[in-house]
Amino acid sequence: MPDASGSAIAMSRPGLFSRFADDQTERRYSERARTLRLPFVRLYGVIFMVVALAYSIVNPIFLASVDNAQLAIMLGLALLTCGAYIGTTFWDGYVRHAVIDFIALLALSILVGRINVLLMEHLASLNQGLHVIGVINKLIIVAFAAVTLAGMPRSFLIWLACDFLIWFAQITSGQPQLSAVVYAALSFSSGALIMAAINLAVGRTSRAAFQLADSLDAERARNEELVLNMLPPAAVDRIRSGLLVADSYADASVIFIDMVGFSTLAKRVSPGHLVEMLNGFFNHADACARQFGVEKVKTVGDAYLAIAGGNVASGNSADAAIAFARAVIAGVPEMGRSAGVEVGLRAGIHSGPVVGGVIGETRMAYDYWGDTVNIAARLDGTAPANGIAISEITWLRARDRTGFDKPVTINLKGVGDVDVYIAQPPLAGKLDDAA
């Protein structure tokens, strides 16, 4: 997510050593995987410290003072290193820096290797050939690294190679018998190979799981965007809570904008051309709505219905509605050039109370009702080409009344006589006003 950002992820199955093609996706995967492994890392660190303390308690019972002092120093360093490592995991930037794991685990492995050498020397002095203890102790660290560095197989193999070389140098420093070295190397190598397989398996499955989860997150984000494109956020929250969505707004301004001569135009151009023109008109109106804080309600045929003072706060609703209508109509020349034919728009605005809400359970949309909506639709039909017709209520509510002519009384169907103020911009064309 995309992230809910919506970033694309290739849906092919990840290979053993593959990375996501997009660096940002690879980084998000690494940080998420390391975050999920944090409890394991801390738990292992605590277990390691408990075991180290147990060795510190047991060693004085069986070892001479000199040997015990050397082991005490190594165990103390191991405890400090592990404690610092655990502390680092609580740093906010820990998940962004995988090198912390690499260095800390290698340091712990070196210290454990040195502790093992001292223990094996003690056992050798007792004629006890228990080199397997050292191998097991080393493989415990390797197992931790295999899981901690899962998803980063190259880093793990480099770490494993460094660990093996340091460990091999430690066990051969005392000129042991060749057979002992061979068997110890075979024991360590066989265990290390198993741990490498575990590292690859965990890494591959975690990448696949991340890929699936990220795809689901991206799809969920797209669905959320679609829902919020149709419904206000507050309405979505109420619907999810099972509540009825019904609101009243006492001071809203409703805007109807449609294309002049649409019926005639539909007969002149192809269906594809007509859809392209409408799409250009609606996209331009959407951009203007965002600019002036006006809420798009819906489109009906060639008409665009919007409202100021509804779910979207817009200050003076009349001023916002008029500014929005002027901005939409100002785009007529560009729409005409893009369409290749003469285009005209007209707008009607009326202010007053409205009721808004969501009705039904399928294809839901937030709609508005009331006389204010009906009157705005009627006023739209009285506006000239590329002009705006507003009611007296809107004119009185507005602070910017420039560009409007003196009122004319017009009889609106189903409404009666209404004083209408008309603004005819300079770009008005000679289009036929027939709908």
Per-residue model confidence as pLDDT tens digits over 289-307? 999 989 888 888 889 999 9
Regarding whether 295 and 355 lie in a shared domain, the answer is yes
Angstrom distance (rounded) from CA 336 to CA 340: 6
Within a domain: 141: yes
Contact indicator for 433, 260 with CB cutoff of 8 Å: yes
Regarding whether 252 and 149 lie in a shared domain, the answer is no
pLDDT for 28-65, tens place per residue? 878 887 787 788 788 878 878 887 888 788 778 777 78
Within a domain: 75: yes
Residue 404 gets which letter from DSSP? B
Regarding whether 399 and 280 lie in a shared domain, the answer is yes
Regarding whether 253 and 215 lie in a shared domain, the answer is no
386 has a pLDDT exceeding 80: yes
State the CATH number of the domain containing residue 282. Answer: 3.30.70.1230
Instruction: Give SS3 for 409.
Output: strand
User: Interior CA angle at 217 toward 216 and 219, to 5°?
Assistant: 65
Angstrom distance (rounded) from CA 264 to CA 431: 11
Provide the residue range defining the domain that includes 91: 23-223
Regarding whether 196 and 51 lie in a shared domain, the answer is yes
Q: Which of 177, 195, 223 is the last residue of a domain?
A: 223
The pair of structure tokens assigned to 297 is: 């309600």
Regarding whether 247 and 217 lie in a shared domain, the answer is no
Within a domain: 230: no
Angstrom distance (rounded) from CA 238 to CA 375: 30
Contact indicator for 347, 255 with CB cutoff of 8 Å: yes
pLDDT at res. 175: 60
Summarize the confidence of residues 344-356 as an average pLDDT. 92
Regarding whether 314 and 211 lie in a shared domain, the answer is no
Q: Which of 223, 253, 282 is the last residue of a domain?
A: 223
pLDDT at res. 10: 43
Regarding whether 127 and 175 lie in a shared domain, the answer is yes
**426 confidence band (pLDDT: 50, 70, 90):** low
Q: Which residue has the higher pLDDT, 129 or 266?
A: 266
Contact indicator for 412, 244 with CB cutoff of 8 Å: no
pLDDT for 202-255, tens place per residue? 777 677 777 777 777 778 777 777 666 666 666 666 666 666 677 888 889 999
Within a domain: 233: no
Angstrom distance (rounded) from CA 409 to CA 415: 12
Within a domain: 235: no
Within a domain: 236: no
Question: What separation in angstroms does the CA of 159 have from each of 102, 156, 343?
Answer: 7, 5, 69
Within a domain: 272: yes
What is the sign, positive or negative, of the torsion defined by CA atoms of 166, 90, 9, 201?
positive
Concatenated DSSP letters of 353-401: EEEEEE-SSSS--EEEESHHHHHHHHHHTTSPTT-EEEEHHHHHH-S--
Regarding whether 109 and 168 lie in a shared domain, the answer is yes
Within a domain: 120: yes
% of the chain exceeding 90 in pLDDT: 21
Regarding whether 279 and 170 lie in a shared domain, the answer is no
Regarding whether 170 and 204 lie in a shared domain, the answer is yes
Roughly how many angstroms between the first and final C-alpha of the chain, as a whole number?
46
Regarding whether 382 and 272 lie in a shared domain, the answer is yes
Tally of domains within the chain: 2
351 has a pLDDT exceeding 80: yes
Angstrom distance (rounded) from CA 131 to CA 116: 9
Fill in the amino acid letter for 265: L
Per the prediction, the chain carries an average pLDDT of 79
The pair of structure tokens assigned to 106 is: 């290698």
pLDDT at res. 245: 74
